[in-house]
Amino acid sequence: MTGYMNVLVAVDLSPDSAFVLDKARQIAKQYGAELSLMHVMEPIAVGYTLDISGADFETLYAEVMRQSRNSLLELGASVGIAEHRLHNVLGSPAREIRNTAKEIKADLVVVGSHGKHGFELLLGSTSSGVSHGVGCDLLIVRIPGH
């Protein structure tokens, strides 16, 4: 069996992220693989009843992007991942995780599973979405307590 050379771990920046990241780090270390870390910022849905001007919305958006980028930088720095291996993108998590995996030629994607209900007892919705069409191996880390 050949090992992994290029591991991509996706985090939602919740407290569970440390657990998922740690698992990805262990695997990357075991195989001597490069590790990339990503977060997807989802577009903010603003109800049409909300009275917010275009300029205010752009300011809010820029601030959310800035905070998301900073959190990712902080998390990456805490485990020694180089800045060029951090990806903070905007869009739909499952689709962007698949796209980034393809872009950086990842051979393993690591995500967590929250296992919420029904079919999602096994697969969180994001992990399920990533599994449909990802072009490499996918590891879904069971998060304790979920």
Q: What residues make contact with ligand AMP under the rule CB under 6 A?
A: 10-12, 16, 20, 38-40, 42, 93, 111-114, 124-127
Q: By C-alpha distance, which of 112, 15, 12, 127 is closest to 68?
A: 12
Query: What's the min distance (Å) between Cβ of 21 and ligand AMP?
Result: 9
Query: What's the min distance (Å) between Cβ of 32 and ligand AMP?
Result: 23
Q: Which is nearer to ligand AMP, 6 or 113 (CB)?
A: 113
3-state secondary structure of 39: strand
Query: What's the min distance (Å) between Cβ of 55 and ligand AMP?
Result: 26
Distances from the Cα of 35 to the Cαs of 8, 22, 29, 51, 138, in angstroms? 6, 11, 9, 43, 14
Q: By C-alpha distance, which of 96, 86, 111, 72 is closest to 34?
A: 86
Residue nearest to ligand AMP (CB): 112
Return d(Cα 42, Cα 124) in angstroms, integer.
Answer: 17
Q: Which is nearer to ligand AMP, 33 or 75 (CB)?
A: 75
Query: What's the min distance (Å) between Cβ of 53 and ligand AMP?
Result: 27
Query: What's the min distance (Å) between Cβ of 57 and ligand AMP?
Result: 20
Q: Which is nearer to ligand AMP, 56 or 121 (CB)?
A: 121
Q: By C-alpha distance, which of 138, 93, 111 is closest to 9?
A: 111
Render the burial of 122-140: b for 16+ CB within 10 Å, e for the rest.
Answer: ebbebbbbbeeebebebbb
Q: Which is nearer to ligand AMP, 4 or 16 (CB)?
A: 16
Q: Which is nearer to ligand AMP, 42 or 56 (CB)?
A: 42
